[in-house]
C-alpha cells in the first residue's frame, strides 16, 4: 500500500502557506534549490501547480525525477511527485481549492489558467 498523508498532516497543509519544494537534480540524489510555491489539499491529497507552467524548472525536475523533498508546515518530508494534469473534474476541484485558499491574492487568477493547470502535480509521502 502506498504511503498516505495523515488527517492531521492534511489539516495543517490545508492552511499552511510555507511550502518549499526540492525535487532531485538529474543525479537523482542531490536536492534542488528549495522553491516556494502554493499548495492545496483536495480529497485528502496534496497538490501544487507551477506558476510558469511546464517551463518551470522545479516542475521539470519533479516530473523527470519523480522524487525529492518538501518543507511544509514546519516539517520536511521525503516525497514522490506525480503528474496530476489532464482530468477536467480534478482540475476544477483544484481550481476551487486554490480560490478558497488564495482567492484574495492577485496571483491566484493566473494559477487557474491553462499553463499552470497543465503543470499540476500530486505530492505523496514516501
CATH fold, domain 7-125, is Pnp Oxidase; Chain A (2.30.110)
Write out pLDDT tens, residues 17-55: 999 999 999 999 999 999 999 999 999 999 999 999 999
Domain boundaries, given as residue ranges, for the chain: 7-125
What's residue 3's pLDDT? 85
DSSP state of 23: E
- The CA distances from residue 13 to 9, 57, 101, in Å, are 6, 23, 11
DSSP state of 27: T
Query: pTM value?
Result: 0.96
C-alpha cell at 21: 519544494
Amino acid at each position: 500500500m502506498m504511503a498516505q498523508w495523515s488527517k492531521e498532516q492534511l489539516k495543517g497543509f490545508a492552511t499552511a502557506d510555507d511550502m518549499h519544494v526540492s525535487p532531485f537534480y538529474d543525479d537523482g540524489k542531490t536536492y534542488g534549490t528549495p522553491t516556494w510555491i502554493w499548495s492545496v489539499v483536495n480529497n485528502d491529497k496534496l497538490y501544487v501547480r507551477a506558476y510558469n507552467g511546464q517551463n518551470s524548472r522545479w516542475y521539470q525536475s519533479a516530473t523527470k525525477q519523480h522524487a525529492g523533498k518538501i518543507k511544509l508546515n514546519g516539517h520536511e518530508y521525503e516525497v514522490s511527485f506525480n503528474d496530476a494534469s489532464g482530468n477536467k473534474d480534478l482540475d476544477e476541484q483544484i481550481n476551487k481549492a486554490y480560490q478558497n485558499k488564495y482567492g484574495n491574492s492577485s496571483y491566484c487568477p493566473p494559477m487557474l489558467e491553462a499553463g499552470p493547470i497543465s503543470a499540476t502535480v500530486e505530492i505523496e509521502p514516501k
